[in-house]
């Protein structure tokens, strides 16, 4: 009887850990990561950590902590109100190493060719994906040209989930579609990916708005209506 009770308690604690943590066996949440690590020493905005502690999921293995801290710092630059909405919708940003399709939420994409990529590239080699409750971003691939054409990988992919889940497909909103039709060719001349797909245009302009002063200014100058729309949704 005593053994049965002990086993039940252990099982209960185990199930509690599973249901209350967003991390899996191969990962760890930012809030659970050691505070004396290089990662934490490289985080600039500690004020946003409360919002990011459960949102950011890290590999439970060796990874580039400085590069990961850069991703975290960029996410921390998002408005507090938006971070709250992301958390309210149970959206996580899972940072990974290796192949995207090694992650459970993306395994079904193995061997498939993603939209906008050449025929030789499959989802296995793509560094990120968004639009669902689990946003995947490969550590060390944030910058344009590192397996993608976005100004910033994590902001672009998170924007897809913000679009679909937080604002219920706001890129399909009639007002935004009219803005897209008017400004897409000015902001992205000759870039069919952003010209043909309104949700990609939203994600990229969201990334431009939030990345840094230079990209923010570029967006405001070339696409003022888009700039105003992105600013107003916060």
At which of 151, 186, 214 does a domain end?
151
Q: Are residues 36 and 141 in the same domain?
A: yes
Per the CB < 8 A criterion, the answer to whether 135 and 157 are in contact is yes
Residues 206, 109 share a domain: no
What is the pLDDT averaged over residues 121-125?
A: 95
Looking at 151, 180, 204, the residue that finishes a domain is: 151
Domains: count for the chain? 2
Q: Which of 32, 46, 65, 157 is catalytic?
A: 157
Residue-wise DSSP of 10-68 = HHHHHHHHHHH-S--TTEEEGGGS-TTSHHHHT-S-GGGHHHHTTTEEEESS---HHHH
pLDDT score at 204: 99
| pLDDT confidence tier of residue 24, bands split at 50, 70 and 90 | low
With respect to residue 53, please indicate whether it lies within any of the assigned structural domains.
yes
| 133 in a structural domain | yes
Domain boundary among 87, 121, 151: 151
- Are 147 and 177 in a shared domain? no
Q: Is 156 contained in some domain?
A: no
Please give the pLDDT value at position 23. 62
Model confidence at 186, pLDDT cuts 50, 70, 90, reads: very high
Question: Do 130 and 53 sit in the same domain of this protein?
Answer: yes
Whether residues 220 and 137 share a domain: the answer is no
Q: Which of 7-11, 184-188, 227-231 has the lowest mean pLDDT?
A: 7-11
79, pLDDT greater than 60: yes
**Banded pLDDT at 126 (limits 50, 70, 90):** very high
195 or 115, which is more confident?
195
Contacts of 167 (CB under 8 A, 6+ apart): 233
Does one domain contain both 46 and 142?
yes
Helix (H) or strand (E) holding 96: strand 92-96
Average pLDDT over residues 120-135: 96
- 43 and 136 in a single domain? The answer is yes
Looking at residue 94, what is its pLDDT? 99
Which of 187, 178, 195, 185 is closest to 219 using CA atoms? Answer: 187
176 plus 68 within the same structural domain: no
174 in a structural domain:
yes
Check whether residue 105 and residue 207 sit in a common domain: no
> Is 183 a catalytic site residue?
no
Residue 4 in any domain: the answer is: no
Same domain, 109 and 184: no
Q: Is pLDDT of 4 > 60? A: no
The pLDDT value given to residue 227? 99
pLDDT at 116: 81
Average pLDDT, the chain: 91
Same-domain pairing of 145 and 187? no
Which range, of 23-27, 41-45, 76-80, 87-91, averages the lowest pLDDT? Answer: 23-27
**Does 13 map to a domain?**
no
Structural domain boundaries enclosing 77: 24-151
Q: What percent of the chain has pLDDT over 90?
A: 83
130 and 191 in a common domain: no
Residue of higher predicted confidence among 50 and 232: 232
Q: Quick one: pLDDT band at residue 212, thresholds 50, 70, 90?
A: very high
Work out the average pLDDT over 104-121. 90
Question: Residue 11: inside a domain, yes or no?
Answer: no
- Is 136 part of a structural domain of the chain? yes
- The answer to whether residue 140 scores a pLDDT higher than 80 is yes
């Amino acid at each position: 009887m005593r053994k049965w009770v002990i086993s039940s308690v252990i099982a209960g604690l185990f199930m509690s850990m599973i249901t209350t943590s967003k991390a899996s066996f191969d990962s760890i949440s930012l809030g659970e990561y050691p505070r004396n690590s290089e990662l934490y020493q490289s985080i600039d905005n500690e004020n946003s950590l409360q919002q990011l502690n459960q949102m950011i999921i890290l590999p439970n293995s060796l990874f580039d902590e400085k590069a990961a801290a850069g991703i975290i710092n960029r996410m921390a630059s998002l408005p507090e109100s938006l971070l709250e909405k992301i958390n309210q919708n149970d959206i996580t940003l899972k940072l990974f190493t290796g192949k995207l399709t090694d992650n459970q939420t993306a395994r079904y994409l193995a061997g498939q060719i993603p939209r906008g990529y050449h025929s030789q590239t499959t989802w296995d080699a793509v560094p990120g994906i968004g639009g669902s409750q689990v946003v995947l971003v490969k550590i060390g691939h944030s910058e344009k040209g590192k397996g993608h054409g976005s100004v910033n990988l994590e902001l672009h992919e998170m924007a897809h989930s913000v679009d679909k889940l937080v604002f219920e497909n706001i890129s399909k909103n009639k007002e935004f579609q009219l803005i897209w039709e008017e400004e897409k060719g000015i902001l992205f001349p000759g870039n069919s990916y952003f010209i043909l797909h309104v949700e990609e245009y939203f994600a990229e302009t969201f990334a431009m708005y939030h990345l840094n002063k230079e990209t923010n200014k570029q967006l405001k100058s070339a696409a003022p209506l888009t700039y105003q729309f992105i600013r107003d949704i916060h």
